[in-house]
Structure 1
């Protein structure tokens, strides 16, 4: 018995010595590598120990998110916002207790103006449907004011697109395909689709990148494809085309987009055939003529003189020549890969550009003709309600629906290592995203946003969200007091030469 114990102890001692020796040898090898390499000054000056700097830098993002950041501190979306989406997706109770944790004092904070006589639930109606493209052969009666924004197949995984397609059908909202073309997975759920035509014309392109009318007609032949959106720019990359790393361009994505497999997919920074406002309106008219369906544009506003030029040209040609909708994106980032200088510093945020766009359309008496879709960091009911007050007819969200799919804001969208399977084409990581489970959460999230915006509308004394206006919200100023939104952005008068009453509509 004693001999057996001594034998085991001897073996353990031997293993310990061997492991210790291997550890010392490993440290010596690392020491030699560090003092001889010239790429990293910290490791050269502090061999072995200097390696921990990289490790801690990598782990810092994780620790800040889960242990150190307060509920309202994180960027681009804080924990309180993400948890609201998570609970909404699960259909859980979303009430809170003991007062708001949101700081309501910073300048720019929106405060909705409650009515002393709010609308009774028995007096309210469901949000009215809105018709887009009354001048097209096949107008679209959109059932929901809250919809899924553009996220391409390629940027998103197969199970993610499947879940969004089925979830959109359950919720009764549309799904924008993004610029990556129309995949079978978009069609699978049976939801309404908005086909986006990016600068590379993925899915409807000739080999040289120009528009192929036959492929455009083939896409339009799908009854589910209800509208076409011509993308001029987006929030993540204003002034630059889409970026899909080569690691994500597998055979299926290459076939759907019409590009080489395994090579980075980088779109031109604009449509080569659109050089001015006249050519933009010509292109819109061409796409609408070929497809017969409502056709609009998507853009981030920086320079805005072109908007006035476009409106004047529309009135010269006739209001039928106008885009059927304008999807306005904010200049503060997006879901995809993008250069940091563009994501951080180029393009106006919605809080400035949305009321400006609405007012320009109003000034030229085109506000009713061109529907406005607001897109850009709209993931909570308050942010969606503000957009409607500012002038939007519809609100699109991308990252809100990503959170409903299980996104944890790991900030790996541009890599192929998304831990939740949302933005990766690694089959092992995709396995964690079950479309049958997530489609319900997608639908719940959409329905809860719509319901909560209706709650805000009722509190403000109107029957449904599209009756909200700038008079229903106040904006906190640097002084700490708030100012009515309609005083900050008063509606301009309609220019006399463009008044519909003068019948100058072409």
Structure 2
């Protein structure tokens, strides 16, 4: 409650100055006037519902806005600096932009209920990492805009279900949402929840960019009674997911687990999410797919530059491949074993603009997911206090007094507007490149400056395998990893 003290002090001082102006001297109005105006401003901050920060920090928020805008501008300049040597290729024969945004059909030959995925969706963010209001606003935004929300590994909460949006239900190593008494996977509960009409796809999380190689962390301060019930863990105690899954320990066991989940989900698209660390490991997974004749319907590739709204991210950016390298690795591996046409690839990591979407499609993705940008649409001010539970905007907190400041209806519209305009921008960029459908984009559409006066396309910068090339005889650059990859050992 300390955040309300400045307003209280200003109001009390204003009252004292007003009394003094009547009782002592009219000169006190010189102080009473500005103080009364500030009191009125603070009162308006408390009563308005469009902006979360002033509602949680009356008066003080107005001091932060200039620094917030400056931080956002600095981030934008940093990103522009990183990407100024890379650009998309316009065409001298542009085409008309499509009236309706394209969608991507997700569902391989073993999928009985394929799903049409939007080009941009809500990336994995759990209830627990985000407040109930934030989760619900994202879900309602997804329903308004007809795109999907990834639940994150924290379970399938009522806030994911209440807004009517399409869901990608993420199953992490803690099996939250389908967790048995011993902390293992509960197949019956999974089947019951996967049958819900809101659940369109199921995703098994192997790793994420913020914490690859280790389980997710939710600090105890964010484990409210409601979160504890959903995850079936003790209230107020830090939750650390196991680093790996109990249900499988080899690539072969993983693909067979995916097949079990797909069958239990009634044939809904089932896939996996990972931050790529080793090309050999993913090739081992591809060998298992080929050996068993079982493929995921999709693979979501997370970049090592990804973040989290749950806990500290000391390892972020230091473990795993950045999204570009991970995406190209997964695409090439699937092409090389002749399975790319059965598996859709989602790209998750620093996707914020229409140009970002087009870049990722040119690098091998079929669709994209965004987390940070969606949080900004909710009103996140990037205070970097997610792990403390003291989010000033009510986005990444379980404090009901802070979360109440987030207006669900307003933020849902903002989320929808952001997604719609970003996809429209991507479609316009593709049209300027002479491309009507996302599948027409190739690595040749993306150029990068590789040296003074030297421009190369991604088709030249990276090696791109031909369909089935790994099976027919891998190129020398892939031969050692392909030979060492085993369907029975992640290696």
Q: How many residues align structurally?
A: 416
Task: Give the conservation status (yes or no) of the 8 Å contact 1:413–1:424.
Answer: yes
Report the counterpart of residue 348 of structure 1 in structure 2: 321
Q: Is 1:284 paired with 2:284?
A: no
Asked whether 1:255 is paired with 2:229, we answer yes
- 2:458 equivalent to 1:482: no
Alignment partners' CA distance in 2, 1:434 and 1:69: 24
Distance in 1, matches of 2:71 and 2:234, equals 43
Partner of 2:56: none
Q: Among 235, 239, 247, which residue is 2:213 paired with?
A: 239
Alignment of 1:105-504 (within 5 A): 109-121=85-97, 124=98, 126-292=100-266, 293-318=268-293, 321-479=294-452, 481-495=454-468, 498=471
Matched-pair contact (CA < 8 Å) for 2:127–2:227: yes
How far is 1:133 from its partner?
2.1
Q: What TM-score, normalized to structure 1?
A: 0.77
Deviations 1:410-456 (A, max 9, x none): 11111111111001111221122100111110100110111000011
Hey, what does 1:32 align to over in structure 2?
Answer: none
Alpha-carbon separation, structure 1, partners of 2:71 and 2:315? 26
Give 1:296 shift: 0.6
Query: Contact 2:203/2:273 (CA < 8 Å) preserved in 1?
Result: yes
Give, in whole Å, the separation in 2 of the partners of 1:347 and 1:497: 23
Q: What's the secondary structure of 1:345's corresponding residue? A: coil
- For residue 336 of structure 1, give the secondary structure of its aligned residue in structure 2: coil
CA RMSD, Structure 1 to Structure 2 (Å): 2.7
- TM-score, with length taken from structure 2: 0.79
Whether the 8 Å CA contact 1:132–1:139 is kept in 2: the answer is: no
| Structure with the greater alpha carbon radius of gyration | 1
Deviation at 1:208, TM superposition (A): 1.3
Q: Post-superposition shift, 1:237?
A: 0.5
Secondary structure of the residue that 1:194 maps to in structure 2?
Answer: strand
Indicate if the aligned counterparts of 1:245 and 1:263 stay in contact, CA closer than 8 A: yes
Gap runs ≥5 in structure 2: 1-19, 26-62, 473-491
Contact 2:258–2:270 (CA under 8 A) maintained in structure 1: yes
Is the 2:211–2:313 Cα contact (8 Å) retained in structure 1?
no
The CA deviation at 1:114 is: 0.4
Whole-angstrom distance in 2 between the partners of 1:214 and 1:8:
77
Q: Is the 8 A contact 1:127 1:464 kept in 2?
A: no
C-alpha separation in 1, matches of 2:385 and 2:138: 20
Spell out, residue by residue over 1:183-208, the C-alpha distance to the aligned partner (whole angstroms, 9 max, x if none): 11111111110100001000101121
CA apart distance, 1:129: 3.1
Runs of 5+ consecutive residues of structure 1 not aligned to the other structure: 10-60, 82-101, 500-506
Q: Secondary structure at the match of 1:368?
A: helix
Distance 2:314 2:376 in 1: 25
CA contact (8 A) 1:300 1:348 kept: yes
Residue aligned with 1:344, SS: coil
